[in-house]
Amino acid sequence: MSEIVNTTIATYQQNGQNPPEIDCCLNDLLDNDFNATFKLVPSFHEKLKMDVKAKCFVSGLPGSFYTRLFPSKSLHFVHSSFSLHWLSKVPDGLEENKKNVYLRSPCLPSLYESYLNQFKNDFSMFLRMRAEETMPNARMALALVGRKKLDPFSKNCFQDWSLVSDSLLDLVSEGVVKESDVESFNLPYYNPDESELKEVIKNEGSFGINNFETIFGLLFSNKTGHSEVKDEDVDQSSRSEVAKKRANMVRSIIEPFLVAHFGDAIIDQLFEKYTHHACRRYDTLRNKPTVNFFVSLIRK
């Protein structure tokens, strides 16, 4: 938020204009607590007064971004940061996706179609809602997880979720989790490829693409500081450390889904299993790419 505000103010100043009063509205789901963010607002205001002597008003608005959130034509700029790959609900028609929490090769094409159709419906709804809320020529910046391959069953696409599936099945074999509970659990997630994302934007029609960037990374980094470490130099301890960090990251993302379905008693055991699988498959996984899309849109 501070970067957006500072950039806006700097642009006005460079053009010899007084900075405007800025209204920043933060959105999150109903169950998420805004208090931690709001505690940072006073220091943000103080710094803003000292640096640029501008006014910025901050508020929080709970609710799903797949619904209307703001009055008509009230927004000049919208920023969505790594949220749109989360669907509004688990797609229908996943009864055959047994023992997997997400798409995994091999699987029926109908399962992929269920996820793709849910993404298209949700993303179209997001664009439609924001179109009603934004001014003509308003800007929207989107960041979301994507995938490189057109093939939805590519092994490069869904490594984290396959490790979650394997870890849950370990707990099934140990009698900790019921197999039926695993079979009925699916993640409301979809990472589109570039063509799928652009197709929805084009078909919905309210926004034009100003810029589209794809950033590639690595699922497992084998870098220490600024020096790359060769595979043969990565000892078991280092692999375990990297795997543990990855497990903690995944846990921070999907723990609420897991707790809602399985309860909280299994979570520690589950991610111990995840760490084990991630460490064991380190050589296979470390060079798998991650893909993030950054999209700049203009309201027509």
Percent helix, strand, coil in the chain (nearest 5)? 45, 20, 35
Q: Is residue 146 part of a domain?
A: yes
Please identify which residue in the block is written with the tokens 């979650």: 164
The pLDDT value given to residue 155: 55
**Taking Cα atoms as reference points, which of 199, 224, 231 lies closest to residue 212?**
199
Residues near 232 by beta carbon (within 8 Å), at least 6 away in sequence: none
**What does the pLDDT read at residue 149?**
74
Domains in the chain, number: 1
Q: Which of 12-16, 104-108, 121-125 has the lowest mean pLDDT?
A: 104-108
User: How many CB atoms are closer than 10 A to CB 184?
Assistant: 14
| Band (225; pLDDT cuts 50, 70, 90) | very low
Question: Over the stretch 234-285, which tens digit does the pLDDT of each residue have?
Answer: 677 788 888 899 899 999 999 999 999 999 999 999 999 999 999 998 877 7
Q: In degrees rounded to 5, what are phi and psi of residue 289?
A: -80, 150
- Cα of 152 vs its chain's centroid, Å: 18
> What pTM did the predictor assign?
0.90
pLDDT attached to residue 153? 61
Residue 283 within a domain:
yes
Return d(Cα 185, Cα 169) in angstroms, integer. 12
| Residue 84: predicted pLDDT | 98
Q: For residue 59, is it within any domain?
A: no
pLDDT in the model for residue 229: 47
Are 80 and 139 a contacting pair, CB within 8 Å? Answer: no
* CA separation for the pair 44, 54 (Å, rounded): 11
Q: Could you tell me the CA-to-CA distances from 193 to 29, 290, 292 in Å, in that order?
A: 26, 12, 10
Classify residue 291: in a domain, yes or no.
yes
182 in a structural domain = yes
Q: Is the pLDDT of residue 156 over 70?
A: no
Instruction: Output the pLDDT for position 239.
Output: 84
Domain assignment present for 133 = yes
Could you tell me where the DSSP H helices lie in 15-154?
35-38, 41-51, 109-133
Considering only CA atoms, which of 193, 200, 212, 201 is closest in space to residue 299? 201
The pLDDT assigned to 35 comes to 86
> Residue 74: is its pLDDT beyond 50?
yes
- Asked if 270 contacts 168 with a C-beta cutoff of 8 angstroms, the reply is yes
Structural domain span for residue 190: 64-299
Return all residues near 134 (Cβ < 8 A) that are at least 6 apart: 73, 75, 76, 78, 140, 299
Give the length of the chain: 300
In sequence order, the β-bridge partners of residue 141 are 79, 296
Q: Per the domain annotation, does 52 fall within a domain?
A: no
Q: Which is higher by pLDDT, 282 or 96?
A: 96
What is the token pair recorded at 60? Answer: 């929080």
CATH number reported for the structural domain that contains residue 259 in this entry: 1.10.1200.270
Q: What is the pLDDT of residues 195-209, one digit of tens each?
A: 999 999 999 999 999
pLDDT at 45 over 90: no
In a domain, 40, yes or no: no
